Structures are given as structure tokens and as C-alpha cells.
């Protein structure tokens, strides 16, 4: 079975039939194909630049699956994309093809304070989830430096971390379950709503795969209690005084 995730060549521009079918499946407002509209999607936070053949903005899981099926039918590669803040070049369409931008799938579906879980779509901004959880006295621990703009889906793709990683672990330690569209367009769910679900940990395998195994369309994340207080301390003592006091 052919895997369209950055494994196929796409030397020629997309056919009129492909663009027509994408528009039919997702709607005209959700498809970009003119060269001037594609410029903003040819790079991420790296210096590499390659222009895609088309960009689609699905709003549902079914639309993601439809785009994947069409890409398979036309033999073009697929590149999932969040906010494009990655530093690994994972969203650069190095072989052309169709970029699937997930920024319009940006709903926080559920926050369950009792079970300390949240269900979100992949386009939710990391800081937006943090702010929503704070209202319940809860915290989503992964806090990458780009959290004001990066998406949860992108965090999962790269297994992002942040300062809290030292104490609480990276993204993989806080994702309980993920709904994904597989390379052939099928939809499945990996993991559970509870920690340490029995069976092979395909969820853990998927986190950090940078879109090569499928596309995340919904996520169940683990939350924790926010600290009651945060205090920052500064020492004015000189290094020599610290060395003499602590024997270092």
C-alpha cells in the first residue's frame, strides 16, 4: 500500500482535476492553489523553502480523510502542517504535493476537571489550552517556547517540551489518546482516556513521528493541578561567598 506522507515525487504542478476534486470535497474557501497564495506555506521556522502544489484547510476529520484519499488517487505526497513554527523542517513540502493545514480545527472540545483530561483538536494553540485549563485550577504541562503560536498537533508531531519538561516530561508523557487519519484515509484511535492503557503503545510510537505515520485530528491530553503559588528568588551573593558557604 502506498504511503503518501512525503514519500512520492511531484515534479509536475497539480492537475486541474486534483484541485477540482479538493474543492468539491472541502469547499472553495478551504483550498489554495494559486502560486501567490502558496508562498506562505513553503517554509517553517527553518531556512528551507519549497512551494507546495496546493494547501487545504480541513475543518473535520472526514475532510482530512477525504484529502488523504484524493492525494492517494492522484499519487501526490501529503505534508501535515500546524502553525509552521517547527525547527526541523517537518512541514516543508520538499517533494511538492498537498499541504494539509490543520489550523481551522481549533476547538477545545472538552475539559474534564474531575478526571483531569481535555479533548482538543490539533489546531488548538498551546497557550489557549493553558489559559482554558487555568480557569479550572489545572495545567497542561508541555510549554514550548513558541507556545503563544504553536499548535497541540504540532507539539505531538515533534514531541515538544519546554521548561516543564525537566519536572514533568515532554508531550508524549501527557498525551493519553489520539484520533488519527492513516495513510490510506482510514480513521482510527490510539491510546485511551486513562493512563497506562493495556496493549502495545502505538500512541507513544505516533508522538514525535512528524506526520510520517498519519495525521492527528483529535487529542486526549492529561492535565494536572496548577501550583498554588510561584515564587522567583534571586541571590545577590558573589560566587566566592557561595563557594565558601557551601564548599563548592
Separation between Cα atoms, residue 248 and residue 107, nearest integer Å: 51
pLDDT at 241: 66
pLDDT at 7: 37
**Ordered mean pLDDT values, 10 residues apiece, the chain (248 residues):** 42 69 95 93 90 96 98 94 89 93 97 97 97 95 91 94 81 96 97 88 94 96 85 65 62
Give the three cell numbers for residue 189.
Answer: 484511535
pLDDT at 166: 78
pLDDT at 130: 95
pLDDT at 243: 63
Give the three cell numbers for residue 40.
Answer: 506562505
End-to-end Cα spacing for the chain: 61
pLDDT at 168: 82
Chain centroid to CA 151: 5
Separation between Cα atoms, residue 25 and residue 22, nearest integer Å: 5
pLDDT at 2: 45
pLDDT at 129: 97
> What SS3 class is residue 53?
coil
pTM: 0.83
User: What is the torsional sign of CA 103, 40, 71, 4?
Assistant: negative
**Which H or E run contains 86?**
none
Amino acid at each position: 500500500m502506498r504511503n503518501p506522507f512525503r514519500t512520492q515525487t511531484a515534479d509536475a504542478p497539480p492537475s486541474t482535476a486534483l484541485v477540482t476534486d479538493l474543492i468539491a470535497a472541502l469547499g472553495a474557501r478551504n483550498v489554495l492553489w494559486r502560486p501567490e497564495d502558496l508562498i506562505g506555506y513553503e517554509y517553517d521556522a527553518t531556512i528551507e523553502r519549497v512551494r507546495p502544489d496546493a494547501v487545504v484547510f480541513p475543518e473535520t476529520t472526514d475532510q482530512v480523510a477525504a484529502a488523504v484519499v484524493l492525494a492517494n488517487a492522484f499519487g501526490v505526497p501529503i505534508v501535515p502542517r500546524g502553525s509552521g513554527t517547527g525547527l526541523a523542517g517537518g512541514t516543508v513540502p520538499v517533494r511538492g504535493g498537498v499541504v494539509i493545514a490543520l489550523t481551522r480545527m481549533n476547538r477545545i472540545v472538552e475539559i474534564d476537571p474531575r478526571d483531569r483530561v481535555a479533548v482538543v483538536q490539533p489546531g488548538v494553540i498551546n497557550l489557549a489550552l493553558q489559559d482554558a485549563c487555568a480557569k479550572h485550577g489545572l495545567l497542561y504541562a508541555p510549554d514550548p517556547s513558541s507556545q503563544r503560536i504553536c499548535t497541540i498537533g504540532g507539539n505531538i508531531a515533534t514531541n515538544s517540551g519546554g521548561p516543564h519538561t525537566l519536572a514533568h516530561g515532554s508531550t508524549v508523557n501527557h498525551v493519553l489518546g489520539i484520533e488519527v487519519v492513516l495513510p490510506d484515509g482510514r480513521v482510527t484511535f490510539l491510546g485511551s482516556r486513562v493512563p497506562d492503557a493495556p496493549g502495545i503503545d502505538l500512541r507513544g510510537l505516533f508522538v514525535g513521528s512528524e506526520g510520517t505515520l498519519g495525521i492527528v485530528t483529535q487529542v486526549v491530553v492529561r492535565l494536572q493541578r496548577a501550583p498554588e503559588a510561584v515564587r522567583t528568588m534571586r541571590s545577590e551573593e558573589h560566587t566566592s561567598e557561595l563557594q565558601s558557604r557551601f564548599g563548592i
